[in-house]
Structure 1
Amino acid sequence: MLDKHRTNSPATLPDARRWVPGRPAEARRKVERVMTERCRARALPCPPEAVEDALLVTSELATNALLHGGGITGFDVDVDAGGVRVSVCDRSDEVPVALQARDDSGRTLPGGRGWPIVCRLARDVRVAELPCGGKRITAVVPLR
């Protein structure tokens, strides 16, 4: 679902001064670090399964932004009682779809599994257009 609401608030704009991961592994390390710090500081449950789910969602969002979105232009992670909120911005206006690609002979090609994984593991997934072009995908992974 594409959220057509455009806003000029700083939270919606990619900012060159903010840290942006260059690879999915960097994004995962950031999420793991933030989860460890915030769960401890806020006395939130942070079971290993929730950490694994959040890391997988992060990896898929970052990978999709790099492979299909023209690169990561923004990244944010937060943790509260509602779960782990991961946002990844990229340059593409295209909304992700769960399609299984096929070659000319009808054989299934590798790939196409990331978006369904994100949608299955996250409780809430939103896609929003950015005022400067591109999109932000935000996924909330429950802490359980």
Structure 2
Amino acid sequence: MCEEHRTPPTDESPGARRPPVPPGPGPCEPAEARREVERAVAACCRTGHAPCDAHALADAQLVASELTTNAILHGGGVTDFHVDVDECGVRVCVSDHSDRLPVARPPVDPLGRHRLNGRGWPIVCRLAREVQVSDLPSGGKCITAVVPLY
């Protein structure tokens, strides 16, 4: 894992300070996750609560997309999704069914062949300021990543 740690079970997404957007299970596909991040950042920028930087938005969208993709491919599907913008940046929380921790895989397999996938978790770790993995009381996990907006 990328210097993050597993935190104790919680009833809600870690670090949420105001009602997340959208409430409920949210996006189940990466494209939907990217749109939700764009909506949340645009709403915050319109009210003047956060600077609007296109590169930072793209980073947050990529993190949301990668976390959602990983939940689908490795976690049994997305069970919950939240995005929130605060003074720390864009906070993306994606929950899935699996208790397994994410891992970074080497780009080359034991036979020396280049892997076609396995780059999502390193991308999340590189772009996010903070990453946490929390066990959920009902099983599964929630991964929270904070991507700076500036």
Instruction: Name the TM-score, length of structure 2 as normaliser.
Output: 0.84
What is the rounded CA distance, in whole Å, between the counterparts of 1:75 and 1:53 in structure 2?
17
Q: 1:3 pairs with 6, 9, 32, which one?
A: 6
Q: Does 1:138 align with 2:144?
A: yes
**Corresponding residue of 2:54:** 48
More helix by share: 1
Q: Does 1:112 align with 2:115?
A: no
Measured after TM superposition, the shift of residue 93 of structure 1 is 0.5
C-alpha contact (below 8 Å) 2:104/2:121 kept by paired residues: yes
Q: Does 1:129 align with 2:135?
A: yes
Q: What SS is found at the alignment partner of 1:137?
A: strand
Calculate percent identity across the aligned residue pairs: 55
**Corresponding residue of 2:105:** 99
Q: Does 1:57 align with 2:60?
A: no
C-alpha contact (below 8 Å) 1:73/1:91 kept by paired residues: yes
Gaps of 5+ in 2: 15-22
Q: Any residues of structure 2 matched to 1:55-94 within 5 Å, and which?
A: 55-94=61-100
Instruction: Write the letter of the residue equivalent to 1:79.
Output: V
1:17-45 alpha-carbon deviations (Å, 9 max, x no partner) = 71421211011111101110022224310
Root mean square deviation of aligned Cα: 1.8
**What is the aligned length?**
139
Instruction: Write the letter of the residue equivalent to 2:116.
Output: P
Instruction: Write the letter of the residue equivalent to 1:6.
Output: P
What is the rounded CA distance, in whole Å, between the counterparts of 2:7 and 2:40 in structure 1?
29
Q: What SS is found at the alignment partner of 1:138?
A: strand
What is the rounded CA distance, in whole Å, between the counterparts of 1:50 and 1:32 in structure 2?
11
Instruction: Name the TM-score, length of structure 1 as normaliser.
Output: 0.88
CA spacing shift, 1:101–1:53, aligned 2, 3 Å: closer
What is the rounded CA distance, in whole Å, between the counterparts of 1:80 and 1:104 in structure 2?
43
Q: What SS is found at the alignment partner of 1:112?
A: coil
C-alpha contact (below 8 Å) 1:2/1:129 kept by paired residues: no
What is the rounded CA distance, in whole Å, between the counterparts of 2:66 and 2:73 in structure 1?
10
Stretches of 4+ aligned residues off by more than 4 angstroms: 101-104
